[in-house]
Structure 1
Amino acid sequence: MRALIQRVESAQVEVDGAVAGSCGAGYLVLLGVAPGDDEALAERLWRKVAALRICADDEGKTNRSLVDTGGSLLVVSQFTLYADARRGNRPSFTGAASPELAEHLYERFCELAEADLGADRVGRGVFGAHMRVSLVNDGPFTVLLDTDELGWS
């Protein structure tokens, strides 16, 4: 799994001109799933995202987590995090999981976030839909977590 985390002042996702999900100050998480990923990996990744200390403390240092700050979260499924452009100019997406597995693990990740933060603090995109994501990036501060690079897979 891969999570591209952007610290935001706010973010929202629209589908067919209507807001499907949003968040205030916190994180926008673009989430990608690979074949072979499972629920245990989704839980481990959520725990890492929740504990990641990329929010400023009173001195302006990145010492606080989303949980510490009471921030909110917007999670958007994004299979294109598994784009492979090593050959030619048109990326391949064969490294992404099947839609069935990806949707299941995306939903599981969101459920874990809602259980820890509360459903009112977690916004969601619409799996498989064409979405328009807008955000006010705070920093900017962006972190990529790749479970393969973390040695979890």
Structure 2
Amino acid sequence: MKALIQRVMNAKVTVNGEIVSSIGQGACIFIGICNNDNVKDMEYMARKILSIKLFDDENDKKWKKSVVDSDFEILCVSQFTLYNTWKGNKPDFHCAMPSEKSKEFYENFVQLLKDSYKPEKIKDGVFGAYMQVALQNDGPVTLELESPAQIEKATKKNKSNHLTKTAEVENNVDR
């Protein structure tokens, strides 16, 4: 899983000209679901999102309070485009979980956030709909969060790429 977290003064989602969700101060979180994400990824992301220190405390000390500590709101927006790769100049989304499966996964994720915090403080857009998202970014603060499975996958890929490049360099040196 991948989340793009934006600290906001307010945010809203509009579908077909109608506001379907809105929040005051808190976090607007764009959620990407990878085709190999599982419950452990979901639990990790929910736990981190609710505990990340995004806000100042009463003494204006930076990065001291979470959404939960501050009694703020969260607006979740499903965004499969977070799992893009490039084929030339065209984005490709084959790494994103297929729509039917990701809808249930996303709904379970939003429910986990509600169960772990205050249900009335967790809002979301309309899964699969064409949405307009309007937000007033606070800071601006925009952070990216990935689940451990995705970090591990990226680390393995980077190690593999490094080994390949090292072998190529060694082969060129031997010539």
- Structure 2 length-normalised TM: 0.82
Shift of 1:66: 0.8
Q: What displacement does 1:101 show?
A: 2.0
Hey, what does 1:80 align to over in structure 2? 81
Alpha-carbon distance in structure 1 between the residues aligned to 2:153 and 2:28? 22
Per-residue CA shift, 1:104-128, capped at 9, x if unaligned? 1211111011112222111111000
Corresponding pairs, count: 151
- 2:167 aligns with none
What is the rounded CA distance, in whole Å, between the counterparts of 2:90 and 2:41 in structure 1? 29
* Contact 1:113/1:122 (8 A) holds in 2: yes
Structure having the larger proportion of residues in strand: 1
Q: What is the rounded CA distance, in whole Å, between the counterparts of 1:21 and 1:40 in structure 2?
A: 28
Please give the residue correspondences for 1:31-70 in structure 2 after superposition, counting only pairs within 5 Å. Answer: 31-57=31-57, 58-70=59-71
Question: Which fold has the larger relative contact order, with Cα–Cα distance below 8 Å and residues 6 or more apart in sequence?
Answer: 1
Higher helix share: 2
Q: Percent identity?
A: 37
RMSD of equivalent CA atoms: 1.5
User: CA shift at 1:144, angstroms?
Assistant: 0.4
1:66-121, Cα deviation, whole Å (9 max, x unpaired): 11000100000000001112x31111111101112211121111101111222211
Letter in 1 for 2:141: F
CA distance in 1, matches of 2:17, 2:60: 40
Amino acid corresponding to residue 79 of structure 1 in structure 2 = F
Which of the two has higher C-alpha Rg? 2
- Runs of 4+ in structure 1 off by over 6 angstroms are none
